[in-house]
Chains A and B, each alone.
Chain A
Amino acid sequence: MIIQTENPSIEAHNLTVIYHRKPVLWNIDFTLPKGQIIGIMGPNGAGKSSLIKAILGLVPVNSGYAKIFGKSFDEVRQKVSYIPQRQTVDWDFPATVQDVVLMGRYQQRGLFGKITQEDKVLAASALEKVNLGGFVNRQISQLSGGQQQRVFIARALAQQAELYLLDEPFVGVDAATEQAIIALLQQMKSEGKTIVVVHHDLHTAKEYFDWLVLLNASLIASGPTSEVFTEELLKSTYSGKLTVLSQVGDQLRERNFPVREA
């Protein structure tokens, strides 16, 4: 089930990505709405992260294309902020929390322009929003996993973008941080921002997302969560993964979805 939307934030057309002759994304074609929290879900190796990376031009696309706000990513870079997986960087890097968050200002200032007091104020207020107000001068190697994730989000906030793409923000993060991040995303949504989250925990999907994209190399479904989060679609997304399937069963039962009509 693929539901299209008018005036999309992100659209992909026949997007195909192949690594070493193995298709990672196959003929993805969708349109995503603006001003919603959108979850991208699927089993391990389904190409969830690759989808975001392909949209942002971080991996070569073999065919098809993606557009953001109707334009190529190059033209709307200023409106887009990417929050990579926390584990992709070295947190022992000699930098303070402020150093990292200020990177969010590099786009506006350029690599050679001066970082001003205004930038530092913006960085500080971004840190306030993720509840890390007192951490400005903390060395990043002293942060917990949840704090690292929040620093990454603060860096993205400092960019003052319209569209935010988060790659697995809840992996290795404590429950309190997860709740805080979700609350923050809700608030950003209420300010009209569009948020795309790569996520793998089925238990929370229904609660977190307005719109769901189900992926398993090819696109299984894209649409409002209420219409897409069904046993049938989840089964075809997670086909063959028994543990996940039973999880899906539990999940549906827990939420009073009739697994089988009596």
Chain B
Amino acid sequence: MSINDFWIILTASLVALCCAIPGCFLVLRRMAMFGDAISHAVLPGLVVAYLISGSRASSVLLLGAAITGLLVTFIIEFIQKKMRVQNDAAIGITYTFLFAVGVILISLFAGQTDLDQECVLYGEIAFVPFDTITLDSGLLLGPRQVWIAGGMLLILLVILRIGYRGLYLTTFDAGYASTLGVSVMLWHYVLMGMVSLATVVSFESVGAIMVIAFLVGPAATAALFAKRLPWMIAIAASIGVLSSIFGYFLAVVLNASVSGSIAVMIGVIFALALLLKRFFPS
């Protein structure tokens, strides 16, 4: 195994960890489709971030792009509540619209960014090791993506640590939370912000389509077994990392897309977990 293999697996694992944290709450809230919506809707924000920064998106701009994710949440709420459009229709029309705007922006400014439509859909995790950060002193710090994903994981862990009780309470029993004076809406947006951050950082490496597998797959598998929420998050995180490792080697053996193979691995682990649960219920 070369150092490049290591960097790719590490990047995939970090992305999987970033997704597992908000993913667990999405699954418990039965809002998996919101993850899909946000992961697509951050595209225009990302394109604008890339356009502003030239070729490399800085972490500050990535945070800016994550705001697009919150924007889509807001638009969906608005259409649903004020216009009384049903929930899935509101989600469907909003995120496809924003995603399409992103795609058009890419075609218009294709020469000016290193994003292309292929990358947007499937990610380019195999190229991660070639985009490195080198300090002025000549010190090689390793791939840029590893640093971005690692930093984002840290941010998400801090939010989880501070906001755990709020997220936990509003996810389990929103009505009760509200009578305690806890703002259900606020925590909804905190979670959606976390999903946005996770998807923005995942975008370059795994693409818009596969992000949803990272968000929902490990969390749904963990939900089959976990007795308490901290365990669910831990199990989902482990499944994400395992899928990244096995998925990478699957991709090497088959000479196939890395992010696709990881997503397949996530699906396989979920199926195995279902069988396990079916035949050994305890």
Contact B176 A82, beta carbon cutoff 8 Å = yes
Contact A112 B175, beta carbon cutoff 8 Å = no
Supply 15 further A-B pairs (C-beta < 8 A) apart from A103-B172, A155-B176.
Answer: A58-B175, A77-B179, A77-B180, A81-B179, A84-B176, A88-B175, A89-B172, A89-B173, A93-B229, A94-B227, A100-B172, A106-B169, A107-B180, A111-B169, A112-B162
Q: Which residues of B contact A82 (CB under 8 A)?
A: 175-176, 179
Is A139 interfacial (CB-CB < 8 Å)? Answer: yes
Contact A103 B173, beta carbon cutoff 8 Å = yes
Contact B28 A58, beta carbon cutoff 8 Å = no
Q: Which residues of A contact B173 (CB under 8 A)?
A: 84, 88-89, 103
Supposing A84-B175, A88-B175, A95-B172 touch, asked if A139 and B227 sit within 8 A by C-beta, the answer is yes
How far does the Cβ of A119 sit from chain B's closest Cβ, in whole Å? Answer: 12
Is B181 interfacial (CB-CB < 8 Å)? Answer: yes
Cα A92 to Cα B225 with chains together (Å) = 10
Q: Which residues of B contact A95 (CB under 8 A)?
A: 172, 228-229
Is B232 interfacial (CB-CB < 8 Å)? Answer: yes
Among B162, B173, B231, chain A packs the most CB atoms within 10 A around the CB of: B173
Cα A193 to Cα B45 with chains together (Å) = 54
Is B53 interfacial (CB-CB < 8 Å)? Answer: no
Cα A106 to Cα B176 with chains together (Å) = 11
How far does the Cβ of B26 sit from chain A's closest Cβ, in whole Å? Answer: 14
Is B267 interfacial (CB-CB < 8 Å)? Answer: no
Supposing A84-B173, A89-B172, A111-B166 touch, asked if A58 and B178 sit within 8 A by C-beta, the answer is yes
Contact B227 A96, beta carbon cutoff 8 Å = yes
Considering only residues 207-241 of chain B, those with a C-beta below 8 Å from chain A are: 223, 226-229, 231-232
Is A232 interfacial (CB-CB < 8 Å)? Answer: no
B28, B162, B165, B175: which contacts A93 (Cβ < 8 A)?
B28
Cα A103 to Cα B228 with chains together (Å) = 14
Contact A107 B181, beta carbon cutoff 8 Å = yes
B172, B182, B223: which contacts A111 (Cβ < 8 A)?
B182
Q: How many residues of A contact B (CB 8 A)?
A: 28
Contact B172 A93, beta carbon cutoff 8 Å = yes
Can you list 18 residue pairs at the A/B interface with Cβ under 8 Å? A53-B175, A56-B179, A74-B181, A77-B179, A89-B173, A90-B172, A92-B223, A93-B28, A93-B229, A94-B28, A95-B172, A100-B172, A103-B169, A103-B172, A103-B176, A106-B180, A112-B162, A139-B228
What are the interface flags for A99-137 relative to B under an 8 Å C-beta threshold, 1 for contact and 0 otherwise? 110010011000110000000000000000000000000
Give the nearest-CB partner of A89 in chain B.
Answer: B173
Cα A95 to Cα B171 with chains together (Å) = 12
Q: Which residues of A contact B229 (CB under 8 A)?
A: 93-95, 99
Is A80 interfacial (CB-CB < 8 Å)? Answer: yes
Among A56, A58, A106, chain B packs the most CB atoms within 10 A around the CB of: A106
How far does the Cβ of A163 sit from chain B's closest Cβ, in whole Å? Answer: 11
Contact B165 A111, beta carbon cutoff 8 Å = yes
How far does the Cβ of B210 sit from chain A's closest Cβ, in whole Å? Answer: 26
Cα A88 to Cα B223 with chains together (Å) = 19
Give the nearest-CB partner of A113 in chain B.
Answer: B165
Give the nearest-CB partner of B172 in chain A.
Answer: A93
Is A35 interfacial (CB-CB < 8 Å)? Answer: no
Considering only residues 150-205 of chain B, those with a C-beta below 8 Å from chain A are: 162-163, 165-166, 169, 171-173, 175-176, 178-182
Cα A189 to Cα B12 with chains together (Å) = 59
Cα A106 to Cα B179 with chains together (Å) = 11
Q: Which residues of A contact B176 (CB under 8 A)?
A: 82, 84, 103, 155
> Which 6 pairs of residues, A with B, have the shortest CB-CB distance?
A82-B179, A94-B226, A111-B166, A111-B165, A94-B232, A107-B180
Cα A100 to Cα B229 with chains together (Å) = 12
How far does the Cβ of A140 sit from chain B's closest Cβ, in whole Å? Answer: 9
Cα A130 to Cα B182 with chains together (Å) = 26
Cα A20 to Cα B81 with chains together (Å) = 11
Among A107, A111, A139, chain B packs the most CB atoms within 10 A around the CB of: A111
Cα A103 to Cα B169 with chains together (Å) = 7
Give the nearest-CB partner of A84 in chain B.
Answer: B175
Is A8 interfacial (CB-CB < 8 Å)? Answer: no
Contact B162 A77, beta carbon cutoff 8 Å = no
What are the interface flags for A46-71 relative to B under an 8 Å C-beta threshold, 1 for contact and 0 otherwise? 00000001001110000000000000
How far does the Cβ of B165 sit from chain A's closest Cβ, in whole Å? Answer: 5
Cα A254 to Cα B148 with chains together (Å) = 74
Cα A80 to Cα B180 with chains together (Å) = 9
Cα A94 to Cα B220 with chains together (Å) = 12
Q: Which residues of B contact A107 (CB under 8 A)?
A: 180-181
